[in-house]
Copies of this chain bind each other. A is one copy, B any other.
Amino acid sequence: MEKIPKPVIRRLVVYYRCLERLKGEGKEYTSSKELARRLGIKACQIRKDLSYFGGFGKRGVGYKVDSLSERLKEILGIGQKWRAVVIGAGNLGKAIAGHKPLQQQGFEVVGMFDIDGRKIGKKFRELEIMHMNDLEKFVKDNNVRIAILCVPADSAQEAAEAAEKAGVEGILNFSARVIKVSIPVENVDFSASLKSLTFQIIKRKGSS
């Protein structure tokens, strides 16, 4: 299990969500073909991704929805609760802190942090906005495991180092800047996604 590429992990998450929907629809079995059709991912890719964790599927029968879903849940640590803080109480930080699907999936934002004196002490929904100086104590007292970085690019490295020092185990980075810390980091980069989209549009126009 050591060397699973990141894109595979991301697809496992997508499979998990699709299986949960199939369960909701009352389906007992599914196939790589059905998952492929629903998700727009090639069936052979799905079979290969799932094979990282041993063969779940039975020829002619397919995958049992609930056991495959359970197994993925376990692999991805989805059963667990993950307490997180949002660093950067701007529009983006608020959008993330209030993003319902996160809570539904076991992620709980328990605090917001900023360095802007005008924001400190104010509330966003039930969350008080605190000063970065209080991050370390808060992380320890509240068993916070994840920091969600929603600060401007120029503040990203400093904020990331503060989060690492405070003792979080991983960082979800929304700032458009590569950060360097020794804990796991996952980057969410809108503008890279937008550029990838425009590249596809240009390529498509060129070939049509």
Tell me, yes or no, whether A110 is within 8 Å of chain B by CB. no
Tell me, yes or no, whether A44 is within 8 Å of chain B by CB. no
Q: Is the CB–CB distance between B196 and A10 below 8 Å?
A: yes
Copies in the complex: 2
Q: Is the CB–CB distance between A172 and B194 below 8 Å?
A: yes
Partner of A99, one of B39, B82, B92, B196: B92
Q: Is the CB–CB distance between B186 and A188 below 8 Å?
A: no
Given known pairs A178-B39, A194-B82, A195-B76, the reply for A145 and B102 (CB within 8 Å) is no
Task: Please indicate the chain B residues that have their CB under 8 angstroms from the CB of A145 in the complex.
Answer: 201
A200–B201 CA distance with the chains assembled, in angstroms: 33
Task: Please indicate the chain B residues that have their CB under 8 angstroms from the CB of A195 in the complex.
Answer: 9, 13, 76-78, 105
The A162-208 residues at the B interface (CB cut-off 8 A) are: 169-172, 176, 178, 180, 183-205, 207
Tell me, yes or no, whether A143 is within 8 Å of chain B by CB. no
A90–B96 CA distance with the chains assembled, in angstroms: 11
Q: Is the CB–CB distance between B180 and A40 below 8 Å?
A: yes
Quick one: which of A98, A99, A197 has the most chain B CB within 10 A? A197
Task: Please indicate the chain B residues that have their CB under 8 angstroms from the CB of A189 in the complex.
Answer: 10, 13-14
Q: Is the CB–CB distance between A75 and B199 below 8 Å?
A: yes
Contact with B along A90-115 (1 / 0, CB 8 A): 11101110111110010100000000
Contact with B along A9-45 (1 / 0, CB 8 A): 1100110011000000000000000000011100000
A122–B2 CA distance with the chains assembled, in angstroms: 51
A contacts, CB < 8 Å to B? 1-2, 6-7, 9-10, 13-14, 17-18, 38-40, 75-78, 80, 82, 90-92, 94-96, 98-102, 105, 107, 145-146, 152-153, 169-172, 176, 178, 180, 183-205, 207
Which 4 A/B pairs are nearest by Cβ-Cβ distance? A184-B200, A91-B95, A95-B95, A186-B197
Q: A101-B190, A169-B204, A183-B201 are in contact. List 4 more A-B contacts (CB 8 A).
A: A2-B207, A9-B199, A82-B194, A107-B194
